[in-house]
């Protein structure tokens, strides 16, 4: 059994086994049943090779080489069996398909597809319902959040309108409506937990009170340069100390500057 120690022959067997196995794996990639059958055939070939070597006088010292040659032969048999099984299966499938095309075989395929389609639809139905429910819940959540933002903005605008009007007239109505009383009214009736419609109604009420008090007082405007200067700084400090937002505060300061310029021109011209 000198061939067991022939390195060139062993290399050829190993290369042939690798090529056969690679081709067979590609042909049976989607057919695990064919691979199992080929594996059984390859295992039988390995055992048969070992048995043949033992029956032909292989010595214990040669068992390692015998196993390597048996594995190489089994690999070749495995690859060839995969290739053969894949070719035979494809050939038989084509023959059966051509014999029964347009009749029983086609109807059988359509019947299998028709039975599978409702099952797939039923399997997908809960997922579709869950998706629709999720979208509905998300839209409801977004709508609720947007409504809450709009309601809060209405409350803030209502408070700002009242605060702006109070800041313009608080020096004229300080005795009748001091700042503490105004703040108490806002804190009690115009809180964030109140409905926005209710807050807007209370804002309109307090603004009407401020206007009536201001009209009733008819305070005299400053005429001297010193009084105008003092009047300007008092109103400016009041606006800057108010709870108005930045935009409303800037608007009130612009109006104050305009009124200040008018009073200064009249005082200088002696009107």
Q: What is the pLDDT of residues 174-233, one digit of tens each?
A: 878 888 989 999 999 999 999 999 999 999 999 998 888 887 765 556 778 888 888 889
Q: How far apart are CA 66 and CA 199, in angstroms?
A: 98
Q: How far apart are CA 238 and CA 248, in angstroms?
A: 13
Whole-number pLDDT of residue 60: 66
Quick check: 120 pLDDT over 80?
A: no
The better pLDDT of the pair 198, 170 is held by: 198
Q: How far apart are CA 58 and CA 78, in angstroms?
A: 24
CA 252, chain centre distance (Å): 44
Quick check: 58 pLDDT over 70?
A: no
Q: What is the chain's percent helix, strand, coil content, to nearest 5?
A: 85, 0, 15
Q: Is the Cβ–Cβ distance between 43 and 74 less than 8 Å? A: yes
Please list, in sequence order, all residues whose beta carbon lies within 8 angstroms of the beta carbon of residue 183, skipping any fewer than 6 positions away: none
Whole-number pLDDT of residue 15: 78
Quick check: 72 pLDDT over 90?
A: no
């Amino acid at each position: 059994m000198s061939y067991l120690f022939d390195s060139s022959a062993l290399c050829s067997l190993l290369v042939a086994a690798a090529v056969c196995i690679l081709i067979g794996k590609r042909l049976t990639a989607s057919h695990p049943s064919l691979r199992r059958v080929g594996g059984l055939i390859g295992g039988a070939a390995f055992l048969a090779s070992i048995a043949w070597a033992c029956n032909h006088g292989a010595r214990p010292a040669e068992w390692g080489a015998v196993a390597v040659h048996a594995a190489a032969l089994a690999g070749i048999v495995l690859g060839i069996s995969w290739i053969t099984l894949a070719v035979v299966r494809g050939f038989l499938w084509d023959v059966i398909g051509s014999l029964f095309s347009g009749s029983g075989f086609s109807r059988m395929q359509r019947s299998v597809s028709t039975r599978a389609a409702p099952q797939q639809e039923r399997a997908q139905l809960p997922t579709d319902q869950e998706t629709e429910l999720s979208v509905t819940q998300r839209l409801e959540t977004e709508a609720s959040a947007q409504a809450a933002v709009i309601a809060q903005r209405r409350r803030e605008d209502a408070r700002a309108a009242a605060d702006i009007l109070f800041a313009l007239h608080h020096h004229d109505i300080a005795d009748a409506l001091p700042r503490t009383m105004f703040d108490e009214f806002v804190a009690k009736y115009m809180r964030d937990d109140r409905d926005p419609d209710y807050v807007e109604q209370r804002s309109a009420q307090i603004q009407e009170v401020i206007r009536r008090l201001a009209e009733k007082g008819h305070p005299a405007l400053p005429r001297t340069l010193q009084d105008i200067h003092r009047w300007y700084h008092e109103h400016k400090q009041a606006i800057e100390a108010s709870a108005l937002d930045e935009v409303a505060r800037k608007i009130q300061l612009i109006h104050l500057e305009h009124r200040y310029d008018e009073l200064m021109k009249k005082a200088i011209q002696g009107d």
